[in-house]
Structure formats: C-alpha cells, structure tokens
Amino acid sequence: MNPSSGTARRATPKFGRIDAALESVEAAIARSRDYIFSIQHPEGYWCGELEADSMLEADYIFVHRFLGTGDEGKMQRALTEMLRFQNEDGSWSIYPGAPGNISLTVKCYFACKLMGWSQDEPILVKAREWILAHGGVVECNTFTKIYLCALGQYEYDAVPAVPPEIVLFPKWFYFNIYEISSWSRAILVPLSIAYAKKPFKKIPHEQGIDELFVGGRENANLHLKWDNKNWISWRNFFLMWDRIAHWAERIHIRPLRKIALKKAEKWMLERFEMSDGLGAIYPAMLNAIVALRCLGYSLDDPQVIRAMDEFEKLGIDEPMGTPDYPEPTFRMQPCMSPVWDTAQAIFALGEAGVPRNDARMLRAADWMLSKEVRHKGDWAMKVRNAEPGGWYFEFNNEFYPDVDDTAQVLLALNKVDNPRERYQYDVCLRAIDWVFSMQCRNGGWASFDKDNTKMIFQYIPFADHNAMLDPPTVDITGRILEMLALYGYTRKDKRVEKAIKFIYDEQEPDGSWFGRWGVNYIYGTFLVLRGLEAIGVWNHEPQIQQAAEWIRMVQNSDGGWGESCGSYDDPTTRGVGVSTPSQTAWAILGLLSAGDNRSDSVAKGVRWLLDHQQKDGGWDESMGEGVGRQAIYTGTGFPRVFYLAYHQYRNYFPLLALTNYKRAMERTA
C-alpha cells in the first residue's frame, strides 16, 4: 500500500486509545466523495475494471487461433499481460500469492506455444517442469480438456461427456438444466453443442503439448479415475453413465441428437437477445462463439459478428502501456459491473451526505431505473407466478437478474429524491415483490435462482469446475434484510424471521459467517451484522457479540484487516491476510453494526484507512511494485476456482465505513 503524506492528522490519544479527530475523518470523507464523483461516467453510471486471472488472456489466444481470427498485435499484447503473472516456480495462480493451478498453467503454456514459442524457451521449461511434477495434462479440469480436444491435444473419448440431450429433460425431471446454476447453464449448453460436433483443427506439431503428458501422450491414461475406495458411490454411478454415453457416441446411438441440437441452438439464440452476449459472462460468450461455428454459422454471419463484438468489448487494450507497466498490454475482463458499481457508489455517496436531489445522483438513479428487468428469464422456471422485476450486474443481461444486485440497487435508490417519484416507487415495489418470490425454502436467498441446492450435481464428471449450484447464502441474505428494513419491513413479517433463523443456523462456531460472493468470512460477517442491526435485532444478542469479538480477534497488528482467498481452501486461515482498504472497511462496518464504536479496534481501523488514503481521495489495493504490481483479490466468482478484483471496492467501502464511523461518533459525543 502507498499511504499518502499528510492526509490525516493524528489526534491526541484519549484514554489510551488512538481516536482520529472528527475533522480528519470529515476531510477524508470529502476527498473520497470528490474522487468517486470524478470517475462517474457522463451517462451517470460507474463501472470499475473487473480483474481476474490469466485464464482470460490464455483463452483469448486459444479461441482466435481455433477460429483463425484475431488481431495478431492484440494477441501478442495478451501474451505479454499473461506472462506478467507467472510465478517463480513456473506456474500460474488463480489469485496473487496462491499456489500454482494445473489447469491455468497448462492453458498459459499452450497459449505460448500457439503464439509460436519453442518449448525450449526458459519460461516454458520452468512451466513444463512444474506441470509434469503435478501430474501433467490429465490433471486438468473438464473445460480445459475440451478446449485442448478442439486443437487435437486431447481425446474426446477421454473427457466427460456433455451431451446436448440435457436440454431435452423436462422441467419436472430431477436432472433438468434449471437445477444447475445459471452460469453453469449458460456455459454448458453451448459447450454441449461443441461436444456433440467435436470440432477439430489441426495445428503444427511444434505448437502441440505432447511434452506435458507424464511419460508421453502415447503412454498416458487419459480416462477419469474411478473411486476405488467406495465402489458404491455417486461418483462411480455417474462415471458409469459417462462411459455408456461415450459408448453410444462411438456407435452412433443418438436418436435424439438432431432434436437436442436444434433446441440447444434455439435456447442459446434466445438468450443472445437483450444481453451483452450469452449470460454476459466470458466463458459462456466464448463457448457460444465456438458453438455457432460448430453449427455451421459463417464468420460473417450477423450472429457470429455480434457474438464476437460482445466478446471483444470485454477487452482493455493499452498499446502504449501504463505507468506501472510500460510494455503494451491487452487484458480481458470476465464481465462488466456497471449496475453493481453504480448501486454501491450511490449508496455510499448518499450515506456520506450528498444531497438527495443532487443532479449527479439523480442521473445515476435514472440510469439504474432504465436497467430494470421487465421480461421473464431463467429464474421464472421455478418462480412461475411472479412479475418480473429487479436488476442484473452488467450493462444488459435481461434473462439473468440477480437478487444481490437488486437489493443493492434498492438501497441506492432510497438515497435519491426522484422527480418521477411515483415511477420510482412502482419500480421498487415490483423489485421487492420479486425478491420475496425468490426466497428459498430455508429462509435465505441465493443469487440467480430459487432452491438451486441439489448437491448430487457436484458428482457429475463435467462438474469439476466446482460451481454447479447456486445455494442461498448469508451475505446476500444479510444485504436483503438491510434493504427490507430501509423500506419499512420489520421482524413482524414471517419472511424476515425465517431469514434471521437461516442466518443464525449458518453461523460458524467462532462467531463468523462464510462469505460466498466476497473474500470471505470478513465479508460474510459484515453483511450479516449490517442486516441484523437494520432489521432490529438487539446488538447484545450473543450471536452478535461473538461475531464482533471474532472481527476484533483477526485484526492485523497494523490496525487494518485482510483475508486471503486461501481461506476458502483452508478455513483455519479465515481472517488472515494483508490489510486492504475494502476488507478493513468491512470489518469496521461490522463492528459498528454490532454496537462497537469506541473500542481500540475500531479506532485503529479508522486510523489505518485515514493513513492509507491517497492524495486524490482514493485508496490503493495492490501488492508489489512496478511491473510486478498486482491487484489484491477481495471478490469471489466461484470459491476455490475463480476470484476477482473489483477495482472500485477499495473506494466506496472505505467511504461507507468512514461515514458510518463519523455518524456513530456524533451520536455518542
């Protein structure tokens, strides 16, 4: 972190504490407000960069090499960006500081080969040694293997079957596609088309990766491993059906294949509409492009052109380099986050005292109102009688509104006095009704679907991306309770009480709560405490005080808080990590919600934020210097699989924390 000089004055300690002077807090709030407004788009929205691992650049190179398309200069810049993040041991990681990941490292190695690199290049020698030491290509996940198959580097018979017939299962059938998560659905339907068509493009032998198979490709056992310890298991059951599916493929017993492909194509094309690409997320968009080509669409077909254009929009091209990294680079984002960023920014600014009729706030509110969902999407397969409402995450994604964005938008709209008062009221009312319709049986809320909890799906062979389900989570549920309280709901509502019970049932023995959509227990705990306080739960309840004590216990010696993505793999490391602005803000907000505004923990945390604010009013959330500089990931895509760095988390959450601290100090002065 790069603390600014002279941005916060240390007050004289009082009763042995290090309270920040109120005027210092107010000055930091003013600087932060000004900075956030300075990055507002003229149309009214905010949209920070969304950063993820090097898989995005590697896959970008793969898809253009497979299609025979792409700008060579852009691909070379993507390669440069990818190489920035290779670890000393030769591997690539899914978040900064993580151990190497086999699937990601193989993809990055292959991308280098596709760009014409020799396997004798020192960078690839190190990567190859690491890959072979960790089992070679056969240890990669299904998605990686299928991509390799398309360029002749793996055998289709050895990867888990993803038959398009899955789209034919009726809605009442236990294994229909609406019983898996929305993102898996959007990824798997086009992938099933590719699997059925089995595309193959021959590449020069020197670009291949035979050297990544332990003992050589001809001696490698490519097939999935049975569970020899528990022969009667769901894994073996699904592996048996996988082998049957492959047998049927080999002898062409596929009576419904033509019908299935037609339905999969129709399903995919329908979801191109009112959307920035299929699902508006990178892997689904990439798979959709491949699927279109497999179905015979030409490169100049309007559907392919549109899909490619939406895919390319995710790129950030910097042919002149940046101050931190002077070499030309090109990087991809997994998606864009304008609705989410705008809702967070408006709420933080409103809490910070920006007038409710401020023209900039009104412009942002009207932009969000223009993004209200008015068509039924995939969610309606389980929620049949609800009127459409709510919001999605991206610029356009009408089929996939989510409960979390909807709750945050409602929190934000409450901070704005709109001249179209009746219209805004009706929109908010529809959204709240939709949110209630999405409440799960156990009282919690998930993100995109209702009761998406069939754990059996995790045993399906192609489910090794570890993200097949979208179960209810406490972080989303906590945010919804905060929103409902702001709109007048209380514990007298049975739906609210059911949500509180769900939250209590999910509390960890140490007092923390798991965070599904942010890293990790600090995120989950802060949102739960915010929600419980807002809805009227007494902050002296033992569950609340135990959570507050956990937050105080994991505070870093420098006064801040941090938690690594590694806590998803090893829960004993929860709350452990380098201090960051976003996570420090979350911890402070959690403690304030628990009624703690006078402890040394809170005072030190506020001091940390003040000392680390930059001169322009923002905060830095990165590690390393110069070309080795990397954002710290505090956002979660899929636990243990895919993580994110929201580049504006570091700004609007500290503003929210400082504002809430200032208000608490004024109340107790």
What are 570-580's pLDDT values in tens digits?
999 999 999 99
The pTM for the full model equals 0.94
For the residues of 557-603, what is the DSSP string, one character each?
A: TTS-----GGGGT-GGGTT-S---HHHHHHHHHHHHHTT--SSHHHH
Query: Any catalytic annotation for residue 404?
Result: yes
Rounded average pLDDT over 209-233: 82
* Range with lowest mean pLDDT among 214-228, 374-388, 480-494: 214-228
Q: Which amino acid is at 254?
A: R
For residue 4, the model assigns a pLDDT of 37
Pairing verdict, β 642-646 and 630-631: unpaired
Residue 304: pLDDT over 60: yes
SS3 assignment, position 154:
coil
Rounded average pLDDT over 445-453: 97
* Range with lowest mean pLDDT among 29-33, 361-365, 637-641: 637-641
Residue 232: pLDDT over 90: no
Q: Which amino acid is at 180?
A: I
Residue 9: which pLDDT band, with cuts at 50, 70 and 90? very low
Annotated catalytic residue within 404, 405, 470, 611: 404
Residue 213: pLDDT over 70: yes
For residue 629, the model assigns a pLDDT of 77
Q: Which amino acid is at 653?
A: F
| Phi, psi of 382, rounded to the nearest 5 degrees | -110, -15
Residue 662: which pLDDT band, with cuts at 50, 70 and 90? very high
Sign of the C-alpha dihedral, residues 599, 603, 606, 612? Answer: negative
Residue 234: which pLDDT band, with cuts at 50, 70 and 90? confident
Q: How far is CA 225 from the centre of its chain?
A: 30
Angle at 423 between CA 418 and CA 428, to 5 degrees: 90
Give the residue, 323 or 178, on which the prediction is more confident. 178
On whether the CB atoms of residues 568 and 639 are closer than 8 A, the answer is: yes
For residue 174, the model assigns a pLDDT of 80
For residue 624, the model assigns a pLDDT of 72
Give the span between the Cα atoms of 532 and 555, in whole angstroms: 22
What are 266-292's pLDDT values in tens digits?
999 999 999 999 999 999 999 999 999
What are 34-47's pLDDT values in tens digits?
999 999 999 999 99
First to last CA, the chain: 32
For residue 18, the model assigns a pLDDT of 62
Give the span between the Cα atoms of 148 and 145, in whole angstroms: 5
How much of the chain, in percent, has pLDDT values that exceed 70? 96
> What length is written for the chain?
669
Residue 17: which pLDDT band, with cuts at 50, 70 and 90? very low
Burial 248-283, CB ≥16 within 10 A → b, else e: bbeeeebeebeebbebbbebbeebbeebbbbbbbbb
Residue 501: pLDDT over 90: yes
Query: What are the beta bridge partners of residue 445?
Result: 473
Residue 184: pLDDT over 70: yes
For residue 13, the model assigns a pLDDT of 38
Residue 248: which pLDDT band, with cuts at 50, 70 and 90? confident
Residue 12: pLDDT over 50: no
Give the residue, 621 or 252, on which the prediction is more confident. 621
Residue 429: which pLDDT band, with cuts at 50, 70 and 90? very high
Domains of the chain: 53-332 (1.50.10.20)
Cα 331 to Cα 63, 312, 445, 532, 618, distances in angstroms: 15, 10, 33, 40, 23
Q: Which residues contact 66 (CB under 8 A, 6 or more apart)?
A: 150, 151, 199, 201, 290
Residue 626: which pLDDT band, with cuts at 50, 70 and 90? low
The average confidence (pLDDT) of the chain is 93
